[in-house]
Structure 1
Amino acid sequence: MYNPFPYDDPRAVNRPQLPAEAVGAVVSGTLEAARSLAAELAARLEAAPGKSPVAAFDGYATADWSRMINLLSQQLLQRGIALEAVDFREVLKTEEEIHALIDPLLEWDREKDPTLLYGRIFRGGYEALLDESRAAGFRTRIAGLRSSEGTRRVVVVYGSGCLMPRMRDLYDVRCYFDVTPKESILRIRRGEYANLGDRTARPANQVIRRCYYADFEMAVHLRGELLREGLLDYYLCSDHPDRLELIPRKALEQIFAALALYPFRCKPVYLEGVWGGTYVKKLRNLPDTMRNCAWVFDLIPMEVSVVVEAGSERLEFPFFTFVQREGEALMGAKCVEKFGGYFPIRFNYDDSYHSTGNMSIQVHSGAQYNHDHFDELGRQDESYYVVVAGHHARTFIGFRDDADIDAFIRDIKLADKEYKPVDYLKYVSYEDSKPGLQVMIPAGTVHSSGRNQVVLEIGSLTIGSYTYKLYDYLRPDFDGKPRPIHTWHGERNLVRERRTSWVRQNIVQQPREVRSGEGWAEYIVGEHDLLYFTLRRLEFERSIEDDTRGRFHVLTLVDGERVRIRSLDHPERFFDAEYMDMVVVPADMGRYVIENLRAEPICVHKTMLKDGFDRE
């Protein structure tokens, strides 16, 4: 997600029934949160005279502690208590030493990576960034500050990584400032963040690239440990520095546990693109200032957030924060074990409706390639389900039976180097698009979503994004520069055997009935040994019942206006979904029903893990 549009969709709000105790414990507003923390810290000081309480402010990459520290200082001084703020960056290695650790993991060869997108995961964590001498001095300094003989003082240590295991024993109060993925990227683009250890920021795309392979990676793993082990005293929703929400750990856990009992929807992220269309922009009343809407990240696990209504407040968390705390209830124990705690399927829309052209011809890499080249977990399989199709819409998939693939590779390289157009229809096969067409795209399959359609894209687990554009019609990007082409990686991932005949026998399937009854039926629309998830369509007039049986379902209303997804055992637990909304049904829900809230026939696309996914 390199360039999200700065828009907050107001519709994606979840309203689980929360314990009154949890709702009442939430402190809304930065000043109010500072007052609350000041009162607790002052009480600790009074309870142990001569011992300064020490608080830790850790947080996700791009977290900003400055306003809270200043307001906390003001509140404490009104009580006659001084605040000593200690920047945890003081214990880190030098900028040059950190670059020497991380930069070799990033790709700098523009022949392989024209826009410097890729790298390898930094596995050292915050621990590897510590200067041991400075770390020892830091511990000595905090011990000295803790002794407050003759001084009424509170100490706050702030900075990413300050709650790492070896430092936790130093703190009396532990706080975590979380930031949603979209806001993190926007802060980088606004110039509000330099990579950890850097004195000043590099170009925005390079900052983001290093975040994906290092800064975000470190933050995610530490946050998960703190949440799973219940090590925090307070969690703060900190997207908006002027209106933070301070949530005690017990209240946070109650809120997450309640949400995991309900069907829920994530808050989408919208992105423009040169091939972007107009359908979703009109459907969801996106701002006029958007040039178009190419990608709709409705459920990209590492990129979206969840909004929960708590009394009069709306609390926004990164979706993966919720996953890290409630993984088993949400996904099931086998899924958590198989995929290392990550949500294993991602969902978005690609909108080229009434656009200027096709998506680029592209290919993705598989698990072994991702591991060998990027030290990355997961393969990048995809699938397209056509939701909307205009005149002459096409879905490109596989090579033609008569394609000369060597010639195709030569042509795309010439297009990249010498700006020569490619007659791609000589090489790439396609299916005529119509609503309901399901195309599976195992890693290595050449493909593209054509002009004048909206597809529901469903893919396998990838933390990063490994899309290798092979041909992009010689068009410039919004900045006027040619769009980058990735033939080096692309050529090494193309599976040449996937031609028209193979495609139509294997990954473009006719629906086959699974079960049916009066006024309802379930069909498999896509399932293959190369993908670990199964793609279904539910068709009904009034309602249809289902059962998660310990595996999460993701439901998308692809035809119809409004449905209610409701637990059968607990009817008060429901979510009302509108056209093209995506809803997660947690693994622990069990039996549920989808009810038509209007009069027209309904089609719901259902995705779930296949039987035996954990043995693949």
Structure 2
Amino acid sequence: MSYEPEPIYPPATGAVRRGWDAVRDVLPRPGTVLAIDGPMVQDWTAVLTALPPDALLVDMRTATVGWDQVRKRTESARELAGDPDFATLATGTLADLIDRVPPVPRDPGRLTVVFGPGAALAGHDELWYADLPKRYAEKATIDGHGRNLGRPAGEAGDTRRLFYVDWPLLDRHRDAVAADLTQWLDLQDPADPQLLAGADLRASLAWLSRRPLRTRPTFNTTSWGGHWAQEQLGMNAGARNTALGYELIGPESGILIGTRDGGAVEVPFQLLVASHPEAVLGEAVHPRFGTSFPIRFDYLDTYGGGNLSVHCHPRPDRMRAVFGWPYPQHETYYMMVGSPENVVYLGLRDGVDLAAFERQAHAAHDHGEPFDIERFVQQHPADEHQLFLIPAGTPHGSGKGNVVLEVSATPYLYSLRFYDWLRRDADGRQRPVHVGHAFGNLDTSRTGPESRADLVQRPRTVEAGAGWREDLIGALPEMFFQVHRLELADGATAPQDTTDRFHVLNVVAGQGVRIGTGLGEHLVSFAETLVIPAAAGRYTVTALGPAGARVVKAFVR
């Protein structure tokens, strides 16, 4: 067994078709109004090439209100006004930015096509969605040719608006229209589109909502990144590093539907959750979190790299009032790779001089003056397979030489940095540090040696059987999720039950495991992450390989 970078699932009905001829084959007849919705980043020129040359076109990209009004209607909280890095998460809908839908012409001898973000809002006879995963929009924006919703043509977009404004509005819009789609188009390769009929998409999502599944992993580079995922998992061999590995992140992860020797479409994991929230999340979780999948699994790879910044995340009250997320960014670090010689920065030192800490953090940010962060923040040995708990507001960061499996709450865009080692980005600019935000969210209640019992817990066995046991390895009253670990000898099988709340698993040691449910089996290799929807109910975990297996499990308490 080896790490699979492209887990794929067959459609429940129908088949994925590919190529522009396949797209043209399903175009509606003349006299019809076809709406093709999708994100701003889409290559709409490529989409239009598939249309009859005499088609009547309506471009929804020009339908938004003026740019000044767009900004006014999506203004941040007062504390974030003019902030270069953060914004309040946008509320409302895409329709809030469109006061007047353009007139849609009809001609009995010609096809009318309304295209672009919000096309579904225009009168239409048939609706398609032409998608690109979010990583394409992020790259296009960073490269300078991505465009934000409502921003005038020719003006470069910015990632701040993309993350906090555009994506939430586009996600809500897509999820709301999915039930009416007749075709789903994947245009990651503009020369070779993949398409799945809307009815087959919905049948596949219903099928997946009750079965274990993996999302497609993605790895990004940063200035501190290491090389573990390149060396051990074979990911991004040509990249500078593999710093961030997103195994499961609700707002951005995708599910591949199709076949390996045929076509495949990548569908947002968020669409699965929005379409079947009770089946995926469970009746015990859905009322609390709506259609937000509240737990994420990712890797922080500093193996051969550098220290992460020392930072914290917004405390619950400020997360809601200032940043707009309804729940906080609690985190945990599980040490996949580490040693007693490596460190994890976590928690304030006993008797810390907070005024001096803040002065030195400002001096580093404003004047490039280095300082000894260890005077203020504790260091802990980075022992392999130790879990570190990081409630919102707690200063923390992984040291160099580690691989962290980060098991955390889903909010992921709010790392408030105290100190980043005066590090510079690829363009030679000092990386952003957010001293005001960081100290405004700092939790000073856990300091010194007394905090270790809370933040670095010992395993407690909660269940055991022949050749296996399950330990609780991390839980705190203020954290809405907890982390367990299964220890299995070779061939041992541990019975499990979702009890109406989803589980997320990751194989942290051993060759892999076999997951058995009433609807079939799923193999999971070392370092892979698996979602067990709440509707799966009872399932089994069986260790494969002579070394047995260790499996981390997280779920909402």
Amino acid in the other structure paired with 2:455? I
Cα distance, 1:63–1:203 mapped onto 2, change above 3 Å: closer
How far apart are the structure 2 equivalents of 1:193 and 1:31?
28
Cα distance, 1:104–1:586 mapped onto 2, change above 3 Å: closer
How far apart are the structure 1 equivalents of 2:236 and 2:242?
10
Q: Which moved more, 1:234-243 or 1:433-442?
A: 234-243
2:65 maps to what in 1?
93
Amino acid in the other structure paired with 1:29? G
Report the secondary structure of 1:373's partner residue: helix
1:173 maps to what in 2?
126
Please state how far the C-alpha of 1:147 moved relative to its aligned partner.
Answer: 4.9
How far apart are the structure 2 equivalents of 1:469 and 1:90?
38
Please state how far the C-alpha of 1:562 moved relative to its aligned partner.
Answer: 1.9
1:84 maps to what in 2?
56
Q: How does 1:83-482 map to 2 (within 5 A)?
A: 83-102=55-74, 113=83, 116-132=84-100, 135=101, 138-139=102-103, 142=104, 145-148=105-108, 152-164=109-121, 167=122, 170-204=123-157, 206=158, 208-227=159-178, 230-310=179-259, 312-355=262-305, 357-390=306-339, 392-462=341-411, 465-482=413-430
Cα distance, 1:10–1:70 mapped onto 2, change above 3 Å: farther
2:500 maps to what in 1?
550
Please state how far the C-alpha of 1:200 moved relative to its aligned partner.
Answer: 3.1
1:5 maps to what in 2?
none
2:20 matches 1:30: yes
Unmatched tracts of structure 2, length 5 or more: none
Report the secondary structure of 2:36's partner residue: strand
The one of 1, 7, 11 aligned to 1:13: 7
Q: Which moved more, 1:235-244 or 1:588-597?
A: 235-244
Q: Which moved more, 1:237-246 or 1:523-532?
A: 237-246
Cα distance, 1:358–1:302 mapped onto 2, change above 3 Å: same
Please state how far the C-alpha of 1:405 moved relative to its aligned partner.
Answer: 2.1
Please state how far the C-alpha of 1:192 moved relative to its aligned partner.
Answer: 4.5
The one of 534, 538, 541 aligned to 1:587: 534
Amino acid in the other structure paired with 1:127? A
Residue by residue over 1:325-356, the C-alpha shift from the partner in whole angstroms, topping out at 9 and shown as x without a partner, is 2222111133222112110111111111122x
Contact 1:306 1:319 (8 Å CA) reproduced: yes
Contact 1:61 1:216 (8 Å CA) reproduced: no
Amino acid in the other structure paired with 1:160? P
Report the secondary structure of 1:146's partner residue: coil
How far apart are the structure 2 equivalents of 1:265 and 1:289?
24
Contact 2:279 2:533 (8 Å CA) reproduced: yes
How far apart are the structure 2 equivalents of 1:549 and 1:105?
39
Contact 1:389 1:435 (8 Å CA) reproduced: yes
Contact 1:182 1:304 (8 Å CA) reproduced: no
Contact 1:60 1:160 (8 Å CA) reproduced: yes
**RMSD, matched Cα:** 2.2
Of Structure 1 and Structure 2, which has the larger fraction of its residues in helix? 1
Larger Rg: 1
Residue by residue over 1:173-212, the C-alpha shift from the partner in whole angstroms, topping out at 9 and shown as x without a partner, is 11111221112222334454312222235455x2x21122
Amino acid in the other structure paired with 1:209? R
How far apart are the structure 1 equivalents of 2:143 and 2:272?
27
Report the secondary structure of 1:128's partner residue: helix
Report the secondary structure of 1:407's partner residue: helix
Contact 1:385 1:436 (8 Å CA) reproduced: yes
Q: Which moved more, 1:118-127 or 1:175-184?
A: 118-127
Contact 1:105 1:121 (8 Å CA) reproduced: no
How far apart are the structure 2 equivalents of 1:92 and 1:147?
25
How far apart are the structure 2 equivalents of 1:10 and 1:33?
30
How far apart are the structure 1 equivalents of 2:388 and 2:4?
32
How far apart are the structure 2 equivalents of 1:272 and 1:107?
30
Cα distance, 1:591–1:390 mapped onto 2, change above 3 Å: same
What percent identity do the matched residue pairs reach? Answer: 28
How far apart are the structure 1 equivalents of 2:76 and 2:264?
42
How far apart are the structure 2 equivalents of 1:57 and 1:15?
25
How far apart are the structure 1 equivalents of 2:6 and 2:451?
37
Please state how far the C-alpha of 1:505 moved relative to its aligned partner.
Answer: 2.4
How far apart are the structure 2 equivalents of 1:451 and 1:512?
29
Contact 1:335 1:341 (8 Å CA) reproduced: no
Please state how far the C-alpha of 1:446 moved relative to its aligned partner.
Answer: 0.9
Contact 2:18 2:195 (8 Å CA) reproduced: yes
Residue by residue over 1:430-466, the C-alpha shift from the partner in whole angstroms, topping out at 9 and shown as x without a partner, is 221111211110001111111111111111132x511
Size of the alignment, in residue pairs? 552
Amino acid in the other structure paired with 1:22? G
Amino acid in the other structure paired with 2:106? R
Q: Which moved more, 1:487-496 or 1:301-310?
A: 301-310
1:503 maps to what in 2?
451
Please state how far the C-alpha of 1:109 moved relative to its aligned partner.
Answer: 6.4
The one of 467, 487, 501 aligned to 1:539: 487
1:597 maps to what in 2?
544
Please state how far the C-alpha of 1:124 moved relative to its aligned partner.
Answer: 4.2
How far apart are the structure 1 equivalents of 2:437 and 2:328?
14
Cα distance, 1:334–1:576 mapped onto 2, change above 3 Å: same
Q: Which moved more, 1:545-554 or 1:232-241?
A: 232-241
Please state how far the C-alpha of 1:107 moved relative to its aligned partner.
Answer: 7.7
Residue by residue over 1:114-153, the C-alpha shift from the partner in whole angstroms, topping out at 9 and shown as x without a partner, is xx12112333433232244xx3xx33xx2xx3253xxx11
How far apart are the structure 2 equivalents of 1:216 and 1:475?
29
Relative to the length of structure 2, the TM-score reads 0.94
Contact 1:397 1:503 (8 Å CA) reproduced: no
Please state how far the C-alpha of 1:558 moved relative to its aligned partner.
Answer: 0.5
Amino acid in the other structure paired with 1:545? P
Please state how far the C-alpha of 1:547 moved relative to its aligned partner.
Answer: 1.1
Please state how far the C-alpha of 1:104 moved relative to its aligned partner.
Answer: 6.1
Please state how far the C-alpha of 1:27 moved relative to its aligned partner.
Answer: 2.4
Please state how far the C-alpha of 1:607 moved relative to its aligned partner.
Answer: 0.5
Contact 1:106 1:118 (8 Å CA) reproduced: no
Please state how far the C-alpha of 1:492 moved relative to its aligned partner.
Answer: 0.7
Cα distance, 1:233–1:348 mapped onto 2, change above 3 Å: same
Contact 1:13 1:309 (8 Å CA) reproduced: no
Report the secondary structure of 2:436's partner residue: helix
Contact 1:55 1:156 (8 Å CA) reproduced: yes
Report the secondary structure of 2:246's partner residue: strand
Contact 1:533 1:609 (8 Å CA) reproduced: yes
